[in-house]
Copies of this chain bind each other. A is one copy, B any other.
Amino acid sequence: MEKKLRGKKFRVVFQPSGVRGEIEEGKTLLEASQELGVDVESICGGKQLCGKCKVRVEKGRFAKLNIRSAFSHVSDWESSEERFIDGGGRTKGYRLACAAKLRGDVLAFVPEESRAGKQVIRKEAGEIEIQCNPAVKLYRVDVSEPSLDDPLGDFDRLAQEIGKRHDLRDLAIDYLVLRDLSGILRQGEWQITAAVWDDREIIQVQPGSIEKCWGLAVDVGTTTVAAYLCSLESGEVQAVESMMNPQVAFGEDVMSRITYAAAHPDSGLHEMSSVIIEGLNSLISQATETAGISQEQILDMTFVGNTVMHHLLLGLDPQYVGSAPFTPTVQKSMDIKARDLGIEINKSAYVHILPIEAGFVGADNVGVLICGEPYRKDDIQLIIDIGTNGELVLGSKDRLVVASCATGPALEGAQITYGMRAAPGAIERIRIDPKTFEVTYKVIGTEAWSQTSGSGEIKTKGICGSGILDLLGELYRTGIVMKSGAFNRELKIPRLRMDGDGTPEFVVAWMDETSIGKDVVVTQRDIRQIQLAKAAIYAGAKLMMRHLGIDRVDSVLIAGAFGSYVDKEEALIIGMLPDISPGRIVSMGNAAGDGARMALLDREKRKEANWIARRVEYLELTIQEEFQDEFIAALHIPHGRDAFPHLKGIVPDFILNQ
Contacts and interface: CB of A to CB of B under 8 A. Distances in A.
Given A175-B314, A316-B179, A327-B146, A332 B151 contact: no
A43 interface: no
Interface in A144-175: 146-148, 150-156, 159, 173, 175
Interface stretch (A76-84, A256-264, A317-325, A418-426): A317-325
Contacts of A341: 175
A154 B324 contact: no
A315 B155 contact: no
A438 to B, nearest CB: 51
Interface residues of A, number: 46
A329 interface: yes
Contacts of A446: none
Which applies to chain A's interface (DSSP): helix, strand, loop or mixed? mixed
B147 A325 contact: yes
Interface string A501-531: 0000000000000000000000000000000
A182 interface: yes
B316 A151 contact: no
Given A175-B334, A340-B176, A623-B148, A154 B328 contact: yes
A627 interface: no
Contacts of A315: 179
Given A330-B156, A330-B178, A151 B325 contact: yes
A638 B358 CA distance: 79
A331 interface: yes
Residue from the set A153, A178, A341 with the largest chain B CB neighbour count within 10 Å: A153
A182 B325 CA distance: 13
Contacts of A320: 154, 182, 186
A225 to B, nearest CB: 21
Contacts of A233: none
A156 B332 contact: yes
Interface string A311-353: 0001111011000111111111010110011000000000000
25 contacts: A146-B325, A148-B620, A151-B358, A152-B327, A153-B327, A153-B328, A153-B329, A154-B328, A154-B329, A154-B330, A155-B329, A155-B331, A155-B332, A156-B332, A175-B314, A175-B336, A175-B337, A175-B341, A178-B334, A179-B314, A181-B329, A181-B330, A182-B317, A182-B319, A182-B329
Interface of A: 146-148, 150-156, 159, 173, 175-176, 178-179, 181-183, 186, 314-317, 319-320, 324-332, 334, 336-337, 340-341, 356, 358-359, 618, 620, 623
Given A155-B330, A182-B317, 4 more contacts: A148-B623, A155-B331, A181-B316, A182-B329
Ranked nearest first, the 9 interchain pairs of A and B with the lowest CB-CB distance are A153-B331, A155-B330, A146-B327, A153-B328, A182-B329, A151-B325, A148-B325, A156-B331, A175-B336
